[in-house]
Amino acid sequence: MSLESDLYAILGVSPLATQEEIKRAHRALARRFHPDSGTDEASAERFREIEEAYRVLGDPLRRRAYDKRRTERGPDDQPLLTWSIVASRDRLPALDEEQTLYVLAEIRPVAGITIQRLPLNLCLVIDCSTSMDGERLNYVKAVAHQIIDDLEERDALSLVAFNDRAEVLMPSQKMEDRGRAHARVTSIWAGGGTEILQGLTAGLEQVRRLHHAEVISHLILLTDGRTYGDEEQCIAEARRAGLERIGISAVGIGEDWNDAFLDNMVHQADGVAVYVAHPQQIRNVLLEQVRRLGTIFAQQLRLNLRLSDRVRLESVFRATPHFERLPFRQESVSLGMLQSGIPLQVLLELVVAPLTPGRHRLAQFELLAEVPAVQRQERLIADLASHVVAGPVPDTAAAPIINVLSRLSIFRMQEQVWNALERGEPEKAQQRLEQIATRLLDVGETELAHMALLEAGRVARSGVVSEKGHKTLKYGTRSLGFKR
């Protein structure tokens, strides 16, 4: 079915939103776009659309019927996505205590399907605070010039520079006049502080101008500093952008930016945050981000779980293209986007309560995804069942699960270091860092292992880690997900 007329998109809410959330979204939009609202956004057509969407979604019965139609497929439509689901054990021992069961889901485009690359609608939001002056800004400008040259004519680009306030260097436009874009990049200069909300709202405004269902709209924020006091608003803006299918990614340069905040912000809008230690790396990292946008196969991936009452969900991790702990709410997890060349691996950690011998259905998985190139919503369903047996069950698990878990365990130990430091337990943090170093050496990550040992020593002496060490280990162990 067409996404352009997607009622959820019109109201800017998730297909899993509660009735209350739908009601609230409707009220806010109706007020904003009402023809008599007196604002410059007033639009009779948009208002009619909003009212029509609410007439259906606001009524639970009509909504259910609409949901059914929304995910239905014609008999001729080939599925575009496929997945495999493997559990760490296919037989479970009957125990009188809880046990852990891992499930690895691997999602990929159906073999042989190629889709054309959609036009990009890209916005670069560049931090021009004083600290960016010199080498950092020069590298950013150089790569901006290259992006302008690399984009195709059907792609659109806008440029926003910000410090305490934002300036639209170049409004959103197709790449027909590259000369103008180059001139705008050259005019960037540095000065002032860092207020990310300013740049973010100005950038999103530009992206929205040319945003529609058949482009990939994405905002890339480049920053080297912390924003103060506007974090909450930035997250809210990002969430809104995410619901509108506008992605947000970030490149953090140097040690002074707030990684927890940027990670959270980009997660709201299906993007990634990347750490750049040296200005020389800006070029490759940014070009890779833009290249990645050209390979988007599906977006708005969401995994819904229906668990048996004997099973609960303990944690969810994404394993590719990098490790990430995924927050879940009411057994529903947002997985972001799927690239053409890279299968998306998701690892679930389930806890199974004692079961009697026999066959048990443990869970049902539902995957929802949008394939923007063909304007289709995809839906996959799979069941997980297990034989519970009285005797002992061998400890061996499927090799792909062990492979993912062995590297994920390093990433999870790293999480514990920061938690221990936050709770004021430096001894524990130091011990963890030493164990991480050992494990990193085992898997051949000598440089990261060295960094972990350095930071362990620093914690022993002063009780804290350096920002550089923190970011190197966090973003370094995270990308262990993509090795091998």
Q: Minimum Å distance from CB 410 to another protein?
A: 6
- Residue 346 CB, shortest distance to another protein, in Å, is 17
Closest approach, Cβ 413 to another protein, in A, equals: 6
Shortest reach from residue 444's CB to another protein, in Å: 7
Nearest approach, Cβ of 267 to another protein (angstroms)?
A: 23
Alpha-carbon distance 99 to 105, whole Å?
20
Query: Which residues are CB-contacts of 152 (< 8 A; sequence separation ≥ 6)?
Result: 119, 175
Contacts to another protein by CB under 8 A: 88-89, 92-93, 95, 97-102, 351-352, 394-397, 399, 401-403, 405-406, 408-410, 412-413, 416, 435-436, 438-439, 442-444
From the CB of 483, what's the least distance to another protein, in Å? 10
40 or 97: whose CB is closer to another protein?
97
Residue 264 or residue 403: which is nearer to another protein going by CB?
403
Specify the residue, 80 or 398, whose C-beta has the smaller distance to another protein: 398
Return the number of the residue (201 or 403) whose C-beta is nearest another protein: 403
| Environment class of 285 (CB within 10 Å of its CB; exposed 0-12, middle 13-18, buried 19+) | middle
Residues 6+ apart with CB under 8 A from 67: 15
The residue (of 17 and 401) whose beta carbon lies closer to another protein is: 401
Place of tokens 């997900």: 481
Shortest separation between residue 425's beta carbon and another protein, angstroms: 13
Q: In what side-by-side order are the strands of the sheet with 332-339?
A: 91-93, 376-389, 358-371, 296-307, 332-339, 328-329
Q: Which of 136, 183, 175 is nearest to 155 (CA)?
A: 175
Looking at the Cβ atoms of 61 and 399, the one nearer to another protein is: 399
Residue closer to another protein, measured from CB, 102 or 257 = 102
Give the closest residue to 411 by CA, choosing from 305, 289, 277, 320.
320
Tell which residue, 13, 45, 6, has the closest CA to residue 28.
13
